[in-house]
Structure 1
Amino acid sequence: MTISPNILCIGSVLWDVIGRSATEMRQGQDMPGRIERLPGGVAMNIAVTLGRFGMTPSVLTAIGHDAEGDELLAACAGLGVDTRHVYRSHDLPTDRYLAVEGANGLIAAIADAHSLEAAGINILHPLIEGPLGSHDSPYEGPIALDGNLTVSLLEEIATHAAFARADLRVAPASPGKADRLLPFLRHPRAVLYVNLEEAGILCRTTFDNAADAAQALLRHGAARALVTDGGRSACDASAEGVVVAAPPAVHVSRVTGAGDTFMAAHMAAETRGAAREQALDRALAAAAAYVSGAKPQ
């Protein structure tokens, strides 16, 4: 890829191994279904969706110097994702994610992002002291940042001079990692993308709806928060006001990656100048199409 990227996606790029059954499942069941392996990870899912919306994404991540890593880089290139700034280590294997989904949603998942965590600040060198930016000349474009990074690295990013002018959009990788976003809860430029459960974890409570959750995040110091709630209404809240919208009703055939699709579609819409109402509607429509199993356009 020779075109300069216009958005950075920082976080996990790995192999997703996902088993899906068309019937409802519960713990311990052995059911027929399909198993597939495909490029995934929060940063990767966001980057791929951004590319489908006409943007040019580049990923900052760690990928092993192994056969799986070589195959993953080739797959990224085929999907239009720039990997020229990826950190590769001979000592770290390529990360993986394993999930089982039934007709009733996600049953269980394990994210093995240990290599990304071990790589630490090495993945940021192109942005800190390289071709993308530096302390003295910070990157000024949009950044999608995911919570698969360690708490210490996220804390460093929140205050690092190289990120001082960036449009930071931040999402946890899962509810289990939601509290890693705490360094950005009072960040003056960060936009948080969370689901209802993740909002509750950040606020140390539970919520009945996305609007209550988004406004609570503002009270806890967030500059702006977008909260989704599956097939129920989502909310975009900031000092400029509160916007609530409901997603289209669809049959759910997959769930892994839905939040990433929402975030990417929302970022792409706002980058193109869409108003907050329009951006939220477009993001919800994109996420609904994704969970329905519709093929990407």
Structure 2
Amino acid sequence: MRQTASIVCIGGANVDRKARLLTPFRLGTSHPVTTTQTAGGVARNIAENLGRLAQPVSLVSTVGDDRDGQWLIDVTSRYVNTSFIMRTPKANTGTYTAVLDEHGEMVLALADMAIYDTVGEEWRKQQWTRLGPISAVVLDTNFPEDVIRSVIAQCRQEDIPLCVVTVSVPKVKRLPSDLSGVTWFVTNEAEAKAFVGKDGHTGDIMKAILHAGAQNVVITRGANGVAYAAKQGETGTLAAPNVTVTDATGAGDAFAAGFLYGVLGGHTVEDACRFGMSSAALTLQTAETVHPALNEHLLQAAYERYFREGGTK
């Protein structure tokens, strides 16, 4: 029996904890809060979204040899092949803890991500030999520079479609200046500017990223929608669907998954951006990092609603 080619997501898998204040924030005192815990990490979130969209997907990551690590594997394995997640006693499972004010805006966030520094190039090579047929690779920027660089080089060498998804302004600097081998570069405005190393018009920033070697670039701009450009000349902007935001956590990861669902399904970059925005819009309307009822039918219905019926304003 021929093994199905899998989308391989490489990068972060964290436990996300949110504490929402019930009273206004004051320094130096305790506050009543409501707390929630969800599975997080950019690569992990994208993998779960893709798994819920009926795509065969595997996650290459690392967690601690602790209760948080086991919990992450358990919740993720419902939708994702988690057999390539390494457990290490060298560090705690990655955690991201956000304190939100009573309106849901972030007051403070604390990231314990030291575990990703335990990952080296040898481990990445070992995992690669076990992966089986690969249809595409998704790479976030949580791992050290040498691992990121080697994944890009491997995909270039084997001609595997590669989607790089940036994580934060500091971590975008882990990417090599040469993006040859990157098929799709998915980022937001702040991270795109940090990669290029200058401020400027979105069109100029996209040109610089294409000049660095990426074949396609997509820049998400929150309520201002999405801008995209391709080496072949396809370029444009799309307005964001008009939705009531419950929680923005995970919307960028949902966009990346919806975009990949579209582009790997044979759609143009423009149309794939519409799938991405539909996926993000669904996630924005829930308190969860990944929409708890996401499936292909729900995504197609959202796409029809927002982009077939004049849903963008």
TM-score, normalised to structure 2, is 0.81
Please identify, of 42-51 and 98-107, the stretch whose mean Cα deviation from structure 2 is larger: 98-107
1:140–1:85 distance in 2 versus 1, CA, 3 Å: closer
Contact persistence 1:39–1:72 (CA under 8 A):
yes
Which residue is 1:49 aligned to? 49
Query: Using a 3 Å threshold, how does the CA distance of structure 1 residues 251 and 22 change in structure 2: closer, same or farther?
Result: farther
**SS of equivalent residue, structure 1 residue 235:** strand
1:232 corresponds in structure 2 to: 224
Please name the residue that 1:286 is paired with. Answer: 279
Secondary structure of the corresponding residue to residue 142 of structure 2: coil
**Segment drifting more, 6-15 vs 22-31:** 22-31
Residue-pair matches, total = 286
Bigger Cα displacement from structure 2, 223-232 vs 238-247: 238-247
Cα RMSD after superposing both structures: 2.8
Partner amino acid, structure 1, of 2:137:
I
Aligned to 1:6: 6
CA distance in 1, matches of 2:157, 2:36: 37
SS of the residue corresponding to residue 231 of structure 1 reads helix
3-12 or 97-106, larger mean C-alpha shift = 97-106
Please say if 1:277 is aligned against 2:270: yes
Q: Secondary structure at the match of 1:70?
A: helix
Aligned to 1:72: 72
Q: Which residue of 1 aligns with 2:197?
A: 204
Q: Distance in 2 between matches of 1:28 and 1:244?
A: 45
1:29-40 alignment, distance < 5 Å: 33-40=33-40
Partner of 2:85: 86
Quickly say closer, same or farther: Cα 1:150–1:249, change in 2 above 3 A.
same
- Give deviations 1:90-129, integer Å, cap 9, x for gaps: 333212111234547444323222112212235424543x
User: Partner of 1:152 in structure 2?
Assistant: 146
Report the residue type matching 1:56 in the other structure. P
Q: Which consecutive unaligned segments of at least 5 residues does structure 2 have?
A: 295-313
By how many angstroms is 1:72 displaced? 1.9
Aligned-residue offset at 1:12: 0.8
Tell me the secondary structure at the aligned position of residue 167 of structure 2. Answer: coil
Shift of 1:261: 0.9
Q: State the match for 1:214 in structure 2.
A: 206
Cα distance change of structure 1 residues 18 and 163 upon mapping to structure 2, 3 Å threshold: farther
Partner Cα separation in structure 2 for residue 217 and residue 31 of structure 1: 44
Structure 1 residue matching 2:98: 3-state secondary structure:
strand
Q: Shift of residue 46 of structure 1? A: 0.4
Q: Is the 2:155–2:161 Cα contact (8 Å) retained in structure 1? A: no
Greater shift in the superposed pair: 57-66 or 110-119: 110-119
Q: Aligned AA for 2:54?
A: G
The whole-number CA distance in structure 2 between the counterparts of 1:239 and 1:144 is: 20
Alpha-carbon offset, residue 223 of structure 1: 2.3
CA-CA distance at 1:162 after TM superposition? 8.6
Instruction: Letter of the 1:285 partner, please give it.
Output: S
1:197-256 Cα offsets, whole Å, 9 max, x none, are 011111112245x44432332244432211011110311211221031111122222222
Is the alpha carbon distance of 1:226 and 1:248 closer, same or farther for their aligned partners in structure 2, counting shifts above 3 Å?
same
**1:259: which partner in 2?**
252
